[in-house]
Amino acid sequence: MLFLLGGCSKENKEDILKNIKKQIDNSNSYVLKGTMEISNDEEAFNYSLESYYLKDDYYKVILVNQMNSHEQIILKNKDGVYVITPSLNKSFKFQSEWPNNSSQSYILDSIVKDIINDKEWTLKKNNNGYVIKSVVNYPNNEELKYQKVYINKDSIIEKVEVYNDKDIIKIKVVMESVDLNAKLNEKDFIIDNYIKENTCVDEDCEKEEERSASIDNIIYPLYIPSNTYLANSEKVDTGSGNRVILTFSGEKNFVLIEEVMKVNPEMEIVPVYGEPVMLSESIGALSANSLSWDANQISYYLASTELTINEMKNIANSLGNSTIVANTK
């Protein structure tokens, strides 16, 4: 009797996963809309989310920070992977395996891939359907360990929670709608769709540049690796404003550069040998020894040959509208 029940339970578990996978595999294109919450210590950052997919490896994810309306887009087409900031006419371009080289809690096939890759994934029934638990793979965020995927009775994914090793939710994605029969085509995945026309006249543009090109208050990181201190802080005249250069010395040497975000008259595409990375307030461009990102009207560039990826992300996530120095000497 126990053997029969165990066999039935296992069959149900595998059948449910097959149903989920079949629906996604049979979709030529889909559109997912919802919200994403990223928790960083005691703070939570909320985004509106749209995720688009077209067979033959086309992806587009639109994220809008609900606090400041900062919009960024991760776009993958036959030319490469882009992180686009439409309001700045700016894009980072990667030759990357994204999204296949990491877990992605807002891409359906990535969620299912994590379940399949975990030979010990579990299934529990709840009032609305099922909850699947499996390990995740975030090479650029070792803190993230496992996910809970909430499935309704129609085998549609409704919510994903990603946890750290202390069983705290760090990422939560709620799917408000999922259209598995979207009529998308390759034209929906071209970078030209996001080029912003510069409509101001020359005099107005000059006034806007003069007004916004200077940093009034230096933004210092609230996280600094141990035995590391602020060695030097300077402002440099760039001709069109100023640039802040913060030099940190000690056990982990690094340089942090800050400038006011600028709107390019034409789309600027910056090649990056690295990967897109999700920070608390922005999508950044991560390379072997640097991290670049835009947040709260400031463009940041962090460079070091000694910091780990997690340390670079911790520094980036600790930068807010604050003039507090965490450690000086």
For domain 202-317, give the CATH superfamily: MucB/RseB, C-terminal domain (3.30.200.100)
Torsion, Cα of 211, 215, 216, 218 (10° steps): 170
The residue assigned the tokens 């933004």 is 219
Structure tokens at 310: 């997690």
CA-to-CA separations, 128 to 34, 124, 156, in angstroms, rounded: 18, 11, 11
- pTM here is 0.88
What backbone torsions phi and psi does residue 198 show, to the nearest 5 degrees?
-85, 105
Residue 77 contacts residue 58 (beta carbons within 8 Å): yes
Question: Which of 264, 289, 265, 291 has the alpha carbon at shortest distance from 277?
Answer: 291
Within 8 A by CB and 6+ apart from 68, the residues are 296
Burial bucket for residue 120 (CB in 10 Å: 0-12, 13-18, 19+): exposed
Do residues 283 and 83 lie in contact, with contact meaning Cβ atoms separated by under 8 Å?
A: yes
- Per the CB < 8 A criterion, the answer to whether 72 and 83 are in contact is yes
Instruction: Confirm if 150 and 128 have CB atoms less than 8 A apart.
Output: yes
Q: What beta strand segments (E) does 67-198 contain?
A: 71-77, 80-85, 90-94, 122-125, 129-135, 144-152, 157-164, 169-179
Dihedral angle sign, alpha carbons of residues 24, 30, 33, 36: positive
All structural domains of the chain with their residue ranges: 2-193, 202-317
Is residue 54 within 8 A of residue 65, CB to CB? The reply is: no
Q: Which residue has the tokens 């053997």?
A: 3
Parallel, antiparallel or unpaired: strands 157-164 and 242-250 = unpaired
| Dihedral sign (CA 194, 200, 201, 202) | negative
Q: Half-sphere exposure (CA, 13 Å, Cβ side) for 223?
A: 14
pLDDT of 214 = 75
Distance, in Å, from the CA atom of 140 to the CA atom of 111, rounded to the nearest integer, reads 17
Task: Give residue 13's pLDDT.
Answer: 87
CATH architecture of 2-193: Clam (2.50)
Q: What is the pLDDT of residue 42?
A: 73
Tens of pLDDT, residue by residue, the chain (329 residues): 444 444 444 558 899 999 999 999 999 999 999 999 999 877 899 999 999 999 999 999 999 999 989 999 999 999 999 999 999 999 999 988 999 999 999 999 999 999 999 999 999 999 989 999 999 999 988 899 999 999 999 999 999 999 999 999 999 999 999 999 999 999 999 999 998 765 554 555 555 444 456 777 889 999 999 999 999 999 998 877 889 999 999 999 999 999 998 899 999 999 998 999 999 999 999 998 999 999 988 999 999 999 999 999 999 999 965 444 444 44
Q: Which amino acid type is present at position 14?
A: E
**pLDDT value at residue 325:** 43
